Structure 1
Amino acid sequence: MELGQIGTAMVTPFSYAGDIDFDLTEKLIEHLIATGTDSLIVCGTTGESPTLNHQEKSDLFKYAIEIVNKRIPVIAGTGTFNTAESIKLTKQADELGADGIMLVTPYYNKPDQKGIVTHFAHIAKETELPIMLYNIPGRAAVNMEAGTVIELSKIKNIRAVKEASGSLDQMSEIISGTDNGFKVYSGDDALTLPVLSIGGDGVISVASHIAGSEMQRMITAYRSGDTANAALMHRTLLPLFNAVFSAPNPVPVKYALAKMGIDTGGVRMPLVAGLGEGASAFDKVWDKFKENEHVFH
């Protein structure tokens, strides 16, 4: 699974009536491709997947695949807490031409490690698409342990993990215990550089909506051996990374996109659009980041 250095977990643009806005989606996709996104993840957490019904997900997969037109890989977020539903959506994504799928750890029902293995193994045998696992214990209420990822990596089409546990120890263990073809991506923007330093492959990002080019320059600097400049870029980006998660995701990044003139509409309940009193704090971080853009040139 060739995801490149930065996969963007794309927000889902909505009309102000609350429907998916496909015209805005096309504009967003073009913006992302132009600013450093190597692969596109559709209907992930940032895309507000829990609020999208089955048909909406299928429609969004189809549209994104058509607009991208093989320029970069499109990864369909088909994981749910329901194994049968995940298989059904995975088969649809395959038929529509997705380049891979992302499967989140089952949330809410809190399976044990054996249940997690069983869930993913059942889905994997129903498709030949490459699979990226997605571990996010802060949302799923269960941590997919390193040993579980290592066990699952032995299934031929499970080829990557998005690790949002925040644990570099866990990620190090996964890297050490899997073959060289298995990819480990940070699920946290702020850990992009640290994950690279322990042998990881990149990031599945939210901040790349608004700082994709700068993040690419940081990664390229690190990989070319210019670690001092990469570290400076990381420190410059870090306040922005934190600001992007200053309110429930994707509220802040949609706010920031609007500041850039890229309309992605509001969010669906139970989220609430806008940063309220937090807007001024975000604006200060944004202005400081723009002032320091020379760091990336």
Structure 2
Amino acid sequence: MITGSIVALVTPMHADGSVDWSALARLMDLHLEAGTAAIGAVGTTGESSTLDAAEHCEVIKFCVKHSGGRIPIVAGTGSNSTREAVYFTKAAAGAGADACLLVTPYYNRPTQRGLYEHFRTIAEAVDIPQILYNVPGRTAVDLANDTVARLAELDNIVGIKDATGDVARGKALIKRCGDVIGIYSGDDATAMELMLAGGNGNISVTANVAPSLMSQLCALALAGEREQAEAINRCLLPLNQALFLEPNPIPVKWALCQRGLIGEGIRLPLTALDEQYQSEVLKALETAGV
């Protein structure tokens, strides 16, 4: 089981929107040096919604090849089409990814029965560890804890990224099936509390710009060192908030660009961070010491 800080990695792009492969390699190397536990490729933060199918698979292949086994690669392969999710999951398994992250089917608004059948179908179709991803604020569908518990009985469903920000709900999930699957936070602002309560790590946006601090925070929280974890969490709190002043990944890509780590590329319908928010993001970076 992967534990600790799992970065939801951005997909760097040139000004014309094409993937910047050199910058992607540099970012991965940065995370290897910073102690990040795993790379999450082509998730929400990686602009999976704006990459075409060929690019989606190519980014996963690139990350697997560049990692060379030095760090696990968790490939985003979810879709609101079950067939497409199976296709991407098979492609990721074929590329050598270590696990897949599967978001709930957005826009369709399936029932709990539909959600169960969607994830069961993918799990039975592809022999690779799979992590469920619940983010109702973006998908307009909520994967109930009851459904998660049923899905946890399937052998290759090994975890869930809970991005609800509801710590009490996360604690209930840990109590119910935390001995069977990994429970990961998908909400930087509440990740520390979930890990202190028995969660297994944080699939993090903030780790893009503060990888060492997030790695340290996760290690301390997983060890139950509340006082030391809280000290780091206080430094990161303004950054956790600033990186969502506009929809992710707009602020985090802008912040990485300001640090000279990637270019300014981002794909429509996403646009560059509005000028009114830029000073706040810069101040948050300064507060965190990054």
Unaligned runs of 5+ in 1: none
Paired residue for 2:280?
Answer: 281
1:107 deviates by: 0.2
In structure 2, the CA distance between the partners of 1:188 and 1:120, relative to structure 1 (3 Å rule), is same
* Pairs aligned (count): 290
Structure 2 residue 37 is matched with structure 1 residue 33: no
**Aligned AA (1:275):** D
Instruction: Measure the CA separation in 2 of the matches of 1:46 and 1:260.
Output: 18
1:30 deviates by: 0.9
**Aligned AA (2:277):** G
Q: Structure 1 vs Structure 2: percent identity of aligned residues?
A: 37
Give TM-score scaled by structure 2 length: 0.96
The C-alpha deviation readout for 1:208-239, integer Å capped at 9, x for no partner, is 01112112222333344532222122112111
Instruction: Write out aligned runs for 1:260-271 (5 A).
Output: 260-271=259-270
Worse-matched range after superposition: 113-122 or 20-29 = 20-29
1:188 deviates by: 0.6
Contact 1:12 1:264 (C-alpha < 8 Å) held by counterparts: no
Instruction: Write out aligned runs for 1:1-297 (5 A).
Output: 2-178=1-177, 180-290=179-289
**Aligned AA (2:97):** A
Contact 1:38 1:73 (C-alpha < 8 Å) held by counterparts: yes
Contact 1:145 1:170 (C-alpha < 8 Å) held by counterparts: no
Question: SS of the counterpart of 1:161?
Answer: strand
1:258 deviates by: 1.9
Instruction: Measure the CA separation in 1 of the matches of 2:149 and 2:39.
Output: 25
Question: SS of the counterpart of 1:49?
Answer: coil
Instruction: Measure the CA separation in 2 of the matches of 1:264 and 1:162.
Output: 29
The C-alpha deviation readout for 1:250-286, integer Å capped at 9, x for no partner, is 1111121122220143211111113312111222222
Instruction: Measure the CA separation in 2 of the matches of 1:143 and 1:226.
Output: 32
Instruction: Measure the CA separation in 2 of the matches of 1:221 and 1:40.
Output: 20
**Aligned AA (2:144):** E
Question: SS of the counterpart of 2:39?
Answer: strand
Question: SS of the counterpart of 1:231?
Answer: helix
The C-alpha deviation readout for 1:77-127, integer Å capped at 9, x for no partner, is 111000011111111111111111111000000001000000000000011
**Aligned AA (2:274):** L
1:197 deviates by: 2.0
Contact 1:12 1:47 (C-alpha < 8 Å) held by counterparts: yes
The C-alpha deviation readout for 1:176-196, integer Å capped at 9, x for no partner, is 111524100000111111101
Contact 2:159 2:183 (C-alpha < 8 Å) held by counterparts: yes
Contact 2:37 2:71 (C-alpha < 8 Å) held by counterparts: yes
1:76 deviates by: 1.1
Contact 1:186 1:192 (C-alpha < 8 Å) held by counterparts: yes
RMSD after superposition: 1.4
Contact 2:42 2:56 (C-alpha < 8 Å) held by counterparts: yes
**Aligned AA (1:26):** A
**Aligned AA (1:111):** P
Question: SS of the counterpart of 2:190?
Answer: helix
**Aligned AA (2:196):** S
Worse-matched range after superposition: 237-246 or 210-219 = 210-219
Contact 1:251 1:275 (C-alpha < 8 Å) held by counterparts: no
Worse-matched range after superposition: 227-236 or 136-145 = 227-236
